[in-house]
Structure 1
Amino acid sequence: MVQRVAASERGARRIRAPRFVMALPAWVWFLCFFTLPVLWIVYYSFGYKPDIYHPIATDKLSLGSYHEAFSRAFVHVFSQTLQISIIGTSLCLLIAFPFAYWLATRVSPRWRGVLLGLVVVPFFVNFLIRTVGWLILLSPAGPVSSLLQRWGLRSEPLHLLQTRGAVQLGVVYNYLALMILPLFVTLDRLDPAMREASKDLGADRVKTFRQITLPLAAPGIVAGLLLVFIPLTGDYITALVLGGAKGNMAGVVVASQFTIAQDWALGAAQAVILIAMIMGTVAVFGLFALAIRTIVRASRRITLPPVAEEAL
């Protein structure tokens, strides 16, 4: 009996031992392809430039690139990028949540796979090609402008390209599916019996949605917000194809410093500032959500008054 127990303990140790080994490839990948490149960009931001395009490498380290990165023109671009990202993420949430809720609660299981497939279909097309499609649609001689003129809604061609509105429309289209999928997964896993129990207890649809569905869907909402906001803030192609000067974003500015201006220090400094802006925005959003959650939980606490003893 003792031998069996010892053998089972050794077997359990053998089963638990490979867990760290199984996680090791992911950590190595994260270290090699994320942490080290970011640290290398930080190093470049202080003025170092390798000897690639010019015969003489620049290796004088200073903070001058950060001082230049905070000029008025670049601050305006970063501010516009943050506005486009926040508005685009909010629009994706407002569009995706009703669709995901309808898909998870109203559509039969037979058709859910078909509709989810239609949501994922755009990802089979290259990101650049999808954006160029909007370039054709929104051009003054494109289908949208032609239909508006044919229906008498406009007397002249529609000029939407090279504007902030075109970029806003493009990012919502390109990242909408990244909001729909996590929301659908979360809403699909909710037990319908909880909503039925809420209705049986006298709650209407609005109250059931506010107190049952929305809190339980919070993990999907947070996942969708992160999946959309982070890549949208660093978007390069959408702003380059549809934006122009009025719809410029930080990703285009950073890329131009590396490719056109050949100012690696300034481009790296702008990239570091962009990463810090993304992390800071996510942190502020997390603290705000945590504060709202704490306030809501505190407001739901009900303190019953002490029961007065009946006089005999």
Structure 2
Amino acid sequence: MRSADRRSPRAARRALPPGLFAAPTLAWLALFFIAPVGLVFWYSLGRKPGLYQTHSNDVLTMGRYHEALSDTFLTSFMGTLRIGLAGTALCLAIGLPFAYWLAVKVRPQRRFVVLALVLVPFWTNFLIRTIGWQVVLSPEGFASRTMQGLGLIDKPFSMLFTPGAVLLGVVYNYLPMMILPLYVALDRIDGSLREASKDLGADRWRTALQITLPLARPGIVAGLLLVFIPLMGDYVTASVLGGARGNMVGQLIASQFQQGQNWALGSAMAIVLILVIALTILATAVAGIACTWLLTHRRRRELAGIAEGSPA
């Protein structure tokens, strides 16, 4: 019969190529990531031919990478790396307790309000938020007047154009990107697992270390990546709050494209920054996997020892 020859919808879907549904994602990745990075890499192989020209690829060379690895770039990169690691660690230290409180302690009816308080500042323009901190941290700003009113200082105080101001700005700007994946991961954890851990005699810290944190690991990893990667390339916060003392690699790269009009050198610096960020993430991932393996191996040895010592 003709109806018997017709395949079911499930069979028709199975007949499609396995990677067909991933094609839009792959096309988006190729168009907005691989192609721009490839173009930047192509520019990095060129040179600046003249004073009023930005680049030329008539002669391909790796000389711009030698120029990119100058003392100025390495000094700026080390400062950027310190701010990136410190800012990411502070975002995790602040975001993890807050996300746990939001996912576990806050009533479901009120979570939307708290999430809105987190997201509304994040939806505000990035530059406006950073300039707002410039006003707060200025000598005539709210922080200085408050400390003078409390008698903590005798004269106006300013944190502007210091590494501390840059660190404060990046933590404020990127904290929501840490809170959201942590909240999603913690909200998906079944509360009965924590209750079972407590019933078996584990205290709150042991339950957090052995139950909550391992199950929230995908959210922690996502939050670390969402904060660390854009933070390393940020130059708006450093320009507004740091000035010359808060110089970061992003400022140095942007200056090559804008003021210096040297697209080849700026592209080489950008490629070096991308590679170093990738290597930093890879090294951190390897260290995390090694620590996880050691903890798991230790836990298995403890359980094996308990099993051998238990009566038959």
- Report if the CA contact (8 A) 1:46-1:265 is conserved: yes
Instruction: Specify the alignment match of 1:192 in structure 2.
Output: 191
1:296 matches 2:284 = no
- Structure 1: distance between partners of 2:54 and 2:263: 15
Q: Distance in 2 between matches of 1:253 and 1:52?
A: 19
**Preserved CA contact (<8 Å) 1:51 1:57:** no
- CA deviation vs aligned residue, 1:2-33 (integer Å, no higher than 9, x gap): 974x5336751346527644322221221122
Structure 1 gaps of 5+ residues are none
Partners of 2:126 and 2:274 lie apart in 1 by 22
- Give the alignment of 1:136-175 within 5 angstroms: 136-175=135-174
Matches within 5 A, 1:66-77: 66-77=65-76
How many angstroms does 1:150 deviate by? 1.9
User: AA paired with 2:260?
Assistant: A
Q: Which amino acid aligns with 2:189?
A: L
* 1:1-312 correspondence runs (5 A): 4=4, 7-8=6-7, 12-14=11-13, 17=16, 20-48=19-47, 54=53, 57=56, 59-301=58-300, 302-304=303-305
Which amino acid counterpart does residue 59 of structure 1 have in structure 2?
D
| 1:121 aligned partner, one-letter code | V
Alpha-carbon distance in structure 2 between the residues aligned to 1:202 and 1:306 = 21
Moved more, 100-109 or 298-307: 298-307
- Local SS of the residue matching 2:58: coil
* SS, match of residue 208 in structure 1: helix
SS at match of 2:21: helix
d(CA) in 2 for partners of 1:287, 1:59: 41
In the aligned structure 1, how far is the partner of 2:294 from the partner of 2:244? 43
1:303 aligns to what SS in structure 2?
Answer: helix
Distance in 2, Cα, partners of 1:222 & 1:229: 10
Identity, in percent, stands at: 51
Structure 2 residues not aligned, in runs of 5+: none
How much does 1:42 deviate? 1.1
Q: Tell me, yes or no, if the aligned pair for 1:145 and 1:157 is still in contact at 8 Å.
A: yes
Distance 1:53 1:197, change over 3 A: same
* 1:116/1:264 CA distance change after superposition, 3 Å: same
Asked if the contact 2:43–2:263 (Cα under 8 Å) also holds between the matched residues in 1, the reply is yes
Residue 299 of structure 1: CA displacement?
0.1
Once residues 178 and 262 of structure 2 are traced to their aligned partners in structure 1, the CA distance between those partners, rounded to angstroms, is 36
Contact 2:194/2:211, CA 8 A, preserved across alignment:
yes
Matched residue of 2:7: which SS? helix
User: How many angstroms apart in 1 are the aligned matches of 2:206 and 2:62?
Assistant: 55
Q: Secondary structure at the match of 1:278?
A: helix
1:61-87 CA-to-partner distances (Å, cap 9, x unmatched) read: 222211111111110000110110000
1:266, distance to aligned residue in structure 2 (A)? 1.1
Give the C-alpha shift of residue 89 in structure 1.
Answer: 0.3
The amino acid that maps onto 2:93 is: L
Matched residue type, 2:188: R
| Preserved CA contact (<8 Å) 2:47 2:265 | no
The Cα RMSD (Å) is: 2.6
